[in-house]
Structure 1
Amino acid sequence: MNTKVLILLGLAAIVAADSRETYAYRAPRASSEESFESTEAKYNFNWAVSDDSSSNEFGHQEARDGDDTQGSYYVQLPDGRLQKVTFYVDGDDGYVADVTYEGEARFDSVESVESREYRPRYSYDSNESK
């Protein structure tokens, strides 16, 4: 009986090895150089927020075409100045930024920490049962 089982297993192994198709991994190939170029990154976007009630003002603009990336963003600082960052990507040198400020810093509306009145942010109900 053991001999029959061994012969059947041997035959099954031979049949499986013989009928197995060979699949090899191949890197994806572009059909032409043009189709490769069409997959490069290309975008252009911008957005902005301006809220007069909270003096929030900020935004971002960026454009990319292949390896050429450039843009800017800005934010209204608490001291009243507008901070602007203009940037571009320069190949191996990476991200290159130029930071500028518009306006004068104002601190007249800022209340000092010592002058603030302490206000607890919790309440205690003495009628609450424990």
Structure 2
Amino acid sequence: MPPAHRKGDIGSGHGCHYPPTPATGGSGDVIINGKPAMRVGDSYAAHGCPTCPAPAHGRALAAGSPTVFINGRPAGRLGDAIGCGGAAAAGSGNVFIDELGPDSGTASCPLAMAGSASPGMKD
């Protein structure tokens, strides 16, 4: 079962050097380990590619639990997709939300990266 994703947890980077950024959104009334729970549509800090001419862009959690809802929106979990690319890369150490389902938009790569001592590089 994947850990719950919360405000302040990291969303992985993507593409041409777009860096990881922290989750900045979250539920106003569902708290996990002292942090607001992330839900589909909740935001992350904007990020830009330092080596590309493309401007910085906002990002939001795009996929979540198919069975657990927080304030009517799917709950965010480690490995769930972020709309611009990347995935939820950190989560609670002791709160877990169902299994990753076929509709979660996840792949095994973000999960492996999140558990790696050197994400994005072969251990």
TM beyond 0.5 = no
**Greater Rg over alpha carbons, structure:** 1
Which TM bucket (shorter chain)?
Answer: under 0.3
Q: Which structure's relative contact order is higher, taking Cα pairs within 8 Å and 6+ residues apart?
A: 2
1 or 2, which has the higher helix percentage?
Answer: 1
1 or 2, which has the higher strand percentage?
Answer: 1
